[in-house]
Amino acid sequence: MLLPLACLHGRVAQCLTSLLVLAEPFPRPRRSAKARSTAPTSAEPAPAVAKMAAELYPPASASAATATDIANSNAAGAAESTKVGLCCPPCLAPVPLPPLPAPPLPDNNNPESPNWQSFHPTLRERNALMFNNELMADVHFIVGALGAARRVPAHKYVLAVGSSVFYAMFYGDLAEVKSEIHIPDVEPAAFLVLLNDEIDLEADTVLATLYAAKKYIVPALAKACVNFLETSLEAKNACVLLSQSRLFEEPELTQRCWEVIDAQAEMALRSEGFCEIDRQTLEIIVTREALNTKEAVVFEAVLNWAEAECKRQGLPVTPHNKRHVLGRALYLVRIPTMTLEEFANGAAQSDILTLEETHNIFLWYTAAKKPLLDFPLTKRKGLAPQRCHRFQSSAYRSNQWRYRGRCDSIQFAVDRRVFIAGLGLYGSSSGKAEYSVKIELKRLGMVLAQNLTKFVSDGSSNTFPVWFEHPVQVEQDTFYTASAVLDGSELSYFGQEGMTEVQCGKVAFQFQCSSDSTNGTGVQGGQIPELIFYA
């Protein structure tokens, strides 16, 4: 512990007094003439005084040199004062003590940093500090393809406790003894995520990270990657993720991909991601019975994939080469199930079919005696829409229900992901009538889908479906707003005895009133009796 400056002055003064009353002075060392000629003119501090001052300020770490300089300065001042008489301690002019420098910030990636452990009190923190750290690294990985590889330091023990593959690699019967290990098939960014104790995933690297997690058998990381992919799953990437989920043998992710592809087939097949899949995945998708789209869309998507595959293989994009890269996948498209108009305006003019194939398909549509075809003849089943009905009864009165351009709206939430395909609406209570209607689906005020169309009511209490252009993916535990603005016969049926919760198959719907509703629709009664969805 450092003494106060005043005490230091007193101790130094006492030391000088004892030196002055000694019977015999300290012996002076002999100096050569050269030494005398170069001696400084100022008084030198006595060695004993300097020694005592040094003991009062022990030279500890960064302040050692400063403390010694202060002691030497005090001793020199005291020795000078003996020429005019001994001064008591208070008469010594106080020398201001400069502030001690702040300890340097720890550089935990520097192997020479002293006492780095004190900045990380728990074993978990100290182990986490070893991530991508040269400190005590006993193995290095050269990660990535040639020309883009990165050298990554690591610690065998830390890796072995997190992965059975690394354990076998470093501590098994055939343990790796090399100090550098090359891993050309893993991306550097994905490998760093694998080494890090804190899982931090990004969309650009999550697939590469899943591959690394599978390769080195790190189940927790693999599960985190799958969860990340499921939350980001949508029509534009569903086909690519389907291909990857099959590669990584992730059945849950595969099933979620099929849910999106089946319900939003047109959007999925027309996405750029569809053109990036491998041919085996292409064949699996084209044979899918539940694809909820027209066959003309399937044929168009197959041609787009063939064009992209020709470019990948460095082939000219010609009808012959597109047939070549497609192989048997072309004969999985159910061309005869198109309408005659769809075939004539699309496949017949694509030049990918031979003249004989085109001729025979035309005969299939028109001739009584139909030729044999190499294409499937049965139409896809697609998906059967489900309907969530929220009213227990319906009614009409002579003065209700009126429209005049006002909005009927309701909020809803579901307990699992579904795809809202449209709304069921009530029609006229006074005979057959035609309605113009604008339907919308919003989330947090943002329009996700809308459609302006017409429907005809036959005067019954039945509901009439009005469809969005494409089914809309709706996430669980989030409220969405469904709205309809009708223009037509003002008198119509309306719902009564509304329910706040409805169980529809495996899906639970919850309803609440919407502030957008200006025509009286709410939970207990009104319009929008049905939500039409796929699940």
Q: pLDDT by residue (tens digit) across 201-238?
A: 988 899 999 999 999 999 999 999 999 999 899 999 99
Report phi then psi at 240, rounded to 5.
Answer: -65, -45
Q: What dihedral do alpha carbons 235, 241, 245, 250 form, nearest 10°?
A: -60
386-402 pLDDT, tens digit per residue, is 999 999 999 887 666 78
Query: Is pLDDT above 50 for 3?
Result: no
If you average pLDDT over residues 13-23, what whole number do you get? Answer: 42
Give the pLDDT band (50/70/90) at residue 113.
Answer: low
The model's confidence at residue 437, banded by pLDDT at 50, 70 and 90, is very high
Which has more confidence, 100 or 492? 492
User: Cα–Cα–Cα angle for 386, 390, 396, nearest 5°?
Assistant: 120
Give me the residue label for tokens 């409220």: 479
Q: Using CA atoms, how far apart are residues 228 and 206, in angstroms rounded to an integer?
A: 8
Instruction: Report helix, strand or coil for 352.
Output: coil
For residues 398-416, average pLDDT: 87
| Strands 480-487, 433-443: pairing kind | antiparallel
Residue 55 has pLDDT above 90, yes or no: no
Say which residues have a Cβ less than 8 Å from residue 236's Cβ, sequence separation at least 6: 267, 268, 271, 272, 273
Q: Which residue has the higher pLDDT, 162 or 420?
A: 420
Rounded to whole angstroms, the Cα distance separating 318 from 478 reads 48
Element of type H or E holding 261: helix 251-263
Q: What are phi and psi of 329, to 5 degrees?
A: -60, -30
Which long-range contacts does 34-43 make (Cβ < 8 Å, 24+ apart)? 42/76, 43/76, 43/79, 43/80
Among 137, 227, 154, 232, which Cα is nearest to 188's?
A: 154
Residue 401: asked if its preceding bond is cis (omega within 30°), the reply is: yes
Q: Which residues contact 365 (CB under 8 A, 6 or more apart)?
A: 336, 340, 343
pLDDT at 399: 63
**Interval 23-28 mean pLDDT:** 42
User: 203 or 54, which is more confident?
Assistant: 203
Say yes or no to pLDDT of 35 above 50.
no
pLDDT band of 93, cuts 50, 70, 90 = very low
For the ranges 132-141, 422-431, 477-486, the lowest mean pLDDT is seen at 132-141
Please give the DSSP secondary-structure letter assigned to residue 379. P
| pLDDT, tens only, 310-325 | 999 999 999 999 999 9
Check residues 524 and 27 and name the one with the higher pLDDT.
524
